[in-house]
Each structure stands twice: as C-alpha cells, then as structure tokens.
Amino acid sequence: MSMFCFQCEQTAGGKGCVKTGVCGKKPEVSNTQDELTCALIGLARAAGGKCPDRETAELMIKSLFATVTNVNFDEGRIRELIDKTEAKKNELGGAENFNMWDLWNGDVDSVSLRSTLLLGIRGMSAYAYHAFVLGNEDDDVTNWFFKGMKTIGEDHSAEEWLELLMEFGRINLKCMALLDEANTSAYGHPVPTRVTTNIEKGPFIVVSGHDLHDLKMLLEQTEGKGINIYTHGEMLPAHAYPELKKYSHLKGNFGTAWQNQQKEFDGVPGAFLFTTNCLMPPKASYADRVFTTAVVGYPGLRHIPEGENGIKDFTPVIEKALELGGYPEDMIFTGINGGSELTTGFARNTVLSVADTVIEAVKSGAIRHFFLVGGCDGAKPGRNYYTEFVKQAPKDTVILTLACGKYRFNDLDLGTIGGLPRIMDMGQCNDAYSAIQVALALAKAFDCTVNELPLTLVLSWYEQKAVCILLTLLSLGIKNIYLGPSLPAFLSSNVLKILVDQFNIKPITTPEQDLKEILG
Ligand code: SF4
C-alpha cells in the first residue's frame, strides 16, 4: 500500500514519505488520516464555513489534532473520528467530501499553498484543544477552523492563498493568546524555576506532551501516594506555574528531547504518560509502561479516556508506577551537554517585569543582541547547529528560547548579564506568544519596529505547530528569520521564492557564518 505525507521535517528524502512514515506511521494510518481530512472539509462545507455548535467544534479540533505528527498511530481511533464526522455532517444536511487524490496532487504551487494552510490549521488545533479542555474558547478561532477547512477545498489564486495564510497567521496569534490566558488563569504566571534532571529513588511517573490540565489531574491523584512526578519534553515549563509547582512531588525533568525517548525509556522502572504529540513507536522492552490520553493513540498501548466532566482516572498509570517501584537509589542524569540543572519560567510576565533593566542594559551596550533560538527538536545531525550557535553567541548577547529545541543547550551555564541569565526559557512552543509580546513591548519602548530591534529569530522546525507559529510571525511582518535545519518539503520553489522575497526568510548555514552576518 502506498501513502503520501510530507508534513514534517523528517519526511523521507526531504520530499515525502511514500512507503511508510519515517515517524513510524503506517500507510493504512496515513491514508485514514487523509480520509479524515477530506471528511472534515465535507463537514466544514455542510456547516457553511462556520462553527454550528460546541460539540462540532470539539470534533473538528480533536480530529485535526489527531493528524499532527507523532500524535495518533491508531487506525481504529482515526476511523471512529471519521464515523463521527460523517454522522455530524449528515445531521447538518450533508455535503461532498474533498477528493482524496486532490489533497496532495495537482498544480505544484497550489498544492504547496493549500498544504501550508492545512498544516498550519492542524498545528493550531493542538493549541485550541489545550485551551478548550480548560474551558477557554474564542468564536473567531473556532469559526476559522471551519472557514479554513472549507477554503482548503476550493480553488484560489496564489495571491488569494497568500492572503488566507496571513489571515490564518493572525487568527493563530489569537489562538495562542487564548491558550496563554487559559494556562495563566488556571495555573498562574510562570516564575523562574530551577529544575533538576536527577531522579529520586522510589516509584515515579514521567509526563510528556503539552497538556497542563492532564498533569494537574495526575498531580492531584498521586498526592500522598509516595509517587514522584517528572516532566518530559515539552512538559518541562510546567515546573514554573505556581499552581503546579506547589506540589512537592513534582520533582524534576526526565530525559532530553522527544526523539531520544526510545533510548532513554529503555529499562526505566517508571510509568510514562503521553498527553500530546511526540510519541514514538514504543520498543517492546518498555511498551507495557507507556500510557496515552486525550487525542494520543498507539495500537496496543493503554489509553486513559476522559470521564464525566472531562475528569480522567489515572489509576492504571499509578498502579503501574507502584508495581515497577522506581530506582532503588537516587539516580544522577544530565542534559546532552552534561549539566544537571535546567531553568525555565521566563515567560512574558517575568521578562516584562524586568523590562526597565533590559532596556537599560541595551542602551548601555551591556546587551548587544537578543537571539530567539527556539522551535522543535528532531533527530537530524544538522540540529547540532543550534547547540553550536548558542555556545558561540558572544557573551554580550542573550538567548531567549522556547519549545523542545532548547534541549540542545538548556543544560549549559552561560552566566548572566546585569543579573539576567543569558539563557531564558520562555516555555512551550505556544509560548511563542510570550516572545511576541516581549518583542512588541521592546519595540514600543525603543519606538521602533520589531524588525529594527537588536533581535534575531533563529528557528528550528519539525512539525505542524511550528508551521502555524511561522505563519503568525510572518503575518506580523517579522522578517529576516533564520530557519532550519532544512526547509519544508511542502514549500514549492515558487512559494519559497515568494516568502524569501517578501520576508527575507533565510535557511541556516553555519553558526559562524550566521553569527557574522547578524552581528556584523
Ligand atoms: Fe513522514 Fe513526517 Fe508524515 Fe511521519 S509525519 S509520515 S515522518 S512526513
């Protein structure tokens, strides 16, 4: 059976996965996800490009999220979503689904532009989902899922597609603001927090993914049970939220970035819970202790479903952790550079609270330049660029970071400037919203545009959330972004040329050359 998928950075040969997914996705699953996508376009058509009700919104958002890279490998669960989508579509009066062949075939530039919008919408669905489970919704955002999916099933000129991409970028900013509001109102504003990479003896559970709501429920259910909780991957910033860090059994962070999990989980006597993407096919040696929840799925892994009022019962995860018992002694682990302490919590509230110090440091020349070195991590050796870039950045520069790309360098101690650490972790990928707010505030303080600030964005991309963030940055008119480790396969040469001409997007080269070009 053949398939086609080119939605992530590790796509086969830099062109597309056609036999099986490099991520482990089987052709059956890929084709079922395409069928779901085409049914969702049918649903959006039946709904007239506008969300009809909350139940349909949830179905649209969950279904899109299930097609994001490393989220759901379970064909049966995808098929259930197709069945629900068809039923809902028929309730709304019915409409024709999009033709599956047309999804990835046709005029190369139209396919490229349509794919860019579709993949951005898939990315945004993850953020909307996390806000949704906390009860935060926004009509403009919800409606745009339906408008966008209906639009994807139509023909447009290149100019119209580009206008749609910019409109989508602005909507995604709203969606990221919605999630920021959901997280900070539920758990407080992040505060700078040191996080150990060591694991204490005794039973423990490692929580991976982005969903703070799941982590909170698990913390409540494990309190007083002699089980410690550790974050993994994109869950690291959870340590900085006051309403989460108050739990004394939230101990530290396990492992490094997501792509190392098959090596790092092997033989570990603890349970693992995946709340969102970044799940890799588990090895048989540890599959018995991996649990999924929410939209995540993998055949054979135990799934924790949502119960009444969204409450989940994590008893099977807790029992597995107790059965495994954890390490008999405290264990010392390090990040990839040998450090055993990470710092997080430099989100917008914290950074803006010291804005005067930052502005003064820039004016006095103590801080010469800011780099936002952020985005996803991945397996390619070329991603070493980001470690080297940060190591080589001059001592009078500050590194802002977010998302899991930071595991390349977040255990480095780069010292401080004027009392501020030289590496400031702003949070998960969604916290690009924080970075944008800080950049806009600095631009206001210096009475200039963001493009005129001593700030350069050096981004690493892997999956679809990076696509929606990139479109938001472009919709804000942000130029001169360095992008790597390779350019998306779904950008045709003509579309890439347009982006380069309009926004001066630059592929990364070497740390030495790029630093020289940026700093002069
Ligand atoms: Fe290939 Fe990435 Fe698609 Fe997986 S998600 S099938 S690796 S392009």
Q: Is 414 exposed, middle or buried (0-12, 13-18, 19+ CB in 10 A)?
A: middle
SS3 of 516, please? Answer: helix
CA angle 398, 400, 403 (to 5 degrees): 155
Looking at residue 308, what is its pLDDT? 82
57-90: pLDDT as tens digits: 999 999 999 999 999 999 999 999 999 999 999 9
Whose CA is closest to 7, among 103, 128, 148? 103
450-471: pLDDT as tens digits: 999 999 999 999 999 999 999 9
Q: Report the relative pairing of strands 482-484 and 271-274 from DSSP bridges.
A: unpaired
Distance CA 24, CA 8 (A): 13
Helix 158-187 to helix 139-152 angle (10° resolution) is 150
Distance CA 428, CA 432 (A): 8
Looking at residue 310, what is its pLDDT? 84
Closest atom, ligand 1, to C-alpha of 17? 1
Q: What are phi and psi of 212, to 5 degrees?
A: -65, -30
Looking at residue 381, what is its pLDDT? 75
387-419: pLDDT as tens digits: 999 999 999 999 999 999 999 999 999 999 978
Q: Which of 6, 8, 73 to mutate to test the pocket of ligand 1 (most atoms within 8 A of CB)?
A: 8
Q: What are phi and psi of 332, to 5 degrees?
A: -100, 125
Closest atom, ligand 1, to C-alpha of 22? 7
248-265: pLDDT as tens digits: 999 999 999 899 999 999
Q: How far is the CA of 60 from the centre of ligand 1 (A)?
A: 21
Pocket, ligand 1, Cβ cutoff 6 A: 5-8, 10-11, 17, 21-23, 25, 30, 69
Closest atom, ligand 1, to C-alpha of 21? 6
Helix 432-445 to helix 355-364 angle (10° resolution) is 60
Mean pLDDT value of segment 107-111: 97
DSSP-assigned letters across all residues of 261-277: HHHHSTT-SSEEEE-SS
Mean of the per-residue pLDDT values of the chain: 96
172-204: pLDDT as tens digits: 999 999 999 999 999 999 999 999 999 999 999
Distance CA 386, CA 98 (A): 40
User: For the chain, how big is the Rg over CA atoms in Å?
Assistant: 22
Distance CA 41, CA 217 (A): 34
Q: pLDDT class for 420, splitting at 50, 70, 90?
A: confident
Q: pLDDT class for 123, splitting at 50, 70, 90?
A: very high
**Residue pointed to by tokens 């939230």:** 250
Distance CA 483, CA 470 (A): 10
The pTM for the full model equals 0.96
Looking at residue 520, what is its pLDDT? 87
- pLDDT beyond 90 at 378: no
Mean pLDDT value of segment 116-138: 97
